[in-house]
Structure 1
């Protein structure tokens, strides 16, 4: 074969002479090997460094590599730096409050906790056997517990109540013209019963306020209505304030004037036995009439309306 054949790998020198190709020399521009910069681009290095005015890509942004580096002509996206992990979840509840409000919430919780502990201690001492604490601070314990938080064992009584007891009241009212009028008897227990009847969620006041107040009065008074110790006077005050409050609310005459005195009585009626029973009891009411009580100035002025 001719050494100077056009298909030969011989190269011509600068002076037009032909010579063999040298493997250690750089290929010419445009040849398959490409220049050094092109080779570096294909090797994975980026293009030339951007100038001062060039737009910079934000960190972590996807970057498209040259098409020459993509297999089968597809674009390859640079994923950027690795993910730094999930961001912390926002704070909720008390932790989301400012330090000042967190301090206020902590103080409020502490006050509630102290009040609850004091109340539980007072109730425990009121039902506990006599001891040094109850002997020295018995009056303070009674004032805290009675009458609202009184404890008893009637739930476990072997002989349940067999009587209906109604508390009734009337008042002497000074009218606006200066005259004094005496109202008729108002059945306070019947009003509570009417409010409870048919009510799926009756209030604690309607069920227990008046009933417990009267039980407290009877337990601290003799049969002739004489008070026993300090709790007797306290029960009188408690019943009187309830009566005045309810008469101002329910009695039209009392609302038109100022109550000066009140009188309370109880009406006790036996519960009739069933028809098949041979037992017979009286169905007539028995009354217990209390003396007239003078209403104090703060009660008469409407402080308990």
Structure 2
């Protein structure tokens, strides 16, 4: 069953009416299939028009939708032969950041990304996608392995930010994030990063400093959450919608600013309504970007990354 967001209430009412009519048609001799079809089309049109004009704050809500596909969903629908690799070889395993060998079409890649979980138990196990130092050090290890084996790196970013707990700070959170960012920039192989949900703060940048950065059309990417920004500027999280507007967190804004390179379309009503279709769309986009990077040597790839990020500040 779909969990409706506040701005989707008109759609929810229509779909509830459709469900009532379908239930009634089972026990009624009157043919109401035409009325059901009319309402279904009206619902689809309303959903499309609603999602075509979302505000930055509404997009933030979509990016956080509990049913939005996460790392494991993309592994299941977009990649084959995934072989998970764990541990940072220094401290331990962090299940907020997952990674391993995978196949995208005919291409073998190193796949790394955040996993938020999809129910209470798994969300706790994956720490809601908030990586700890050992998670970022694992990502570094996997990137270095990809460099040795000549495998492209693909990252799926979906985190509200790195874990801010005391234990993470004690184990060197800031250094781990900085070194993960450095590892991205120093890679001798192609790297394509995609913001699939929330791209929050350094916890996202640490896996997204690639020569090609993609973003789902209803994802968000920012240095701080709208609530955090509002709390700093206005001393109240209630101003989060205003903060989201001012921060330009959407894919459409960031594409114009040159922060991301490509917007990947989602199914009507968001990726959470059809995860399989969203994953296939993403796989196609990533494959095309990797095709465009094929043949570049290590020096050329590093130069592309350097030019890309230096260009952002000059826009």
Q: Which has the larger radius of gyration?
A: 1
The verdict on a shared fold, with TM-score over 0.5 as the criterion, is no
TM-score range, shorter chain: under 0.3
> TM-score, with normalisation over the residues of structure 1?
0.23
> Which is bigger in relative contact order (C-alpha 8 A, separation at least 6)?
2
* TM-score normalised by the chain length of structure 2: 0.23
Q: Which structure: greater helix fraction?
A: 2
